[in-house]
């Protein structure tokens, strides 16, 4: 019985961590979505928002390193490599040639959410770089 409070706390924390991977906007949108097309649109917007943040951070990073051409070039190379990785990872996750047939109507939503997740991870990495150059 002494373990019960710890189990309850663990379950509460793990469920909040799962929902933390999505933005509040996505959660609100998806709760109101009544069709798969609407859910796909919510997921698509989640990716657009993450990608917009990525572009903002990337531009800030390039601006901070504008006077250091070698550093800027390395950052550009790293970002291009990440894009190749992201696209290869998405293909590895969904390798079928006819994705819509193989994965069904949820495929656009799943793909957009995975793109958003990978992009948010890259946002963290770019923010780390940005902090390094704003010291």
- Could you read off the pLDDT of 78-113 as tens digits, one per residue? 999 999 999 999 999 999 999 999 999 999 999 999
Range of the domain at 53: 43-135
Average pLDDT over residues 13-22: 54
What total number of domains does the chain contain? Answer: 1
pLDDT higher than threshold 60 for residue 16: no
Cα angle 2, 12, 117; round to 5: 145
Write down the pLDDT at residue 120: 98
CATH number of the structural domain spanning residue 91: 1.20.1270.180
Q: Is residue 11 part of a domain?
A: no
């Amino acid at each position: 019985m002494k373990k019960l409070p710890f189990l309850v706390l663990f379950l509460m924390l793990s469920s909040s961590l799962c929902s933390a991977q999505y933005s509040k906007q996505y959660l609100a949108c998806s709760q109101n979505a009544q069709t798969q097309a609407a859910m796909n649109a919510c997921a698509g917007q989640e990716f657009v928002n993450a990608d917009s943040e990525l572009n903002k951070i990337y531009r800030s990073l390039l601006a901070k390193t504008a006077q250091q051409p070698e550093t800027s070039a390395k950052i550009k190379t790293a970002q291009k490599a990440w894009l190749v990785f992201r696209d290869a990872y998405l293909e590895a996750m969904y390798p079928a040639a006819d994705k819509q047939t193989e994965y069904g109507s949820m495929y656009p939503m799943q793909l957009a959410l995975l793109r958003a997740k990978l992009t948010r991870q890259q946002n963290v990495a770019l923010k780390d770089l940005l902090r390094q150059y704003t010291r």
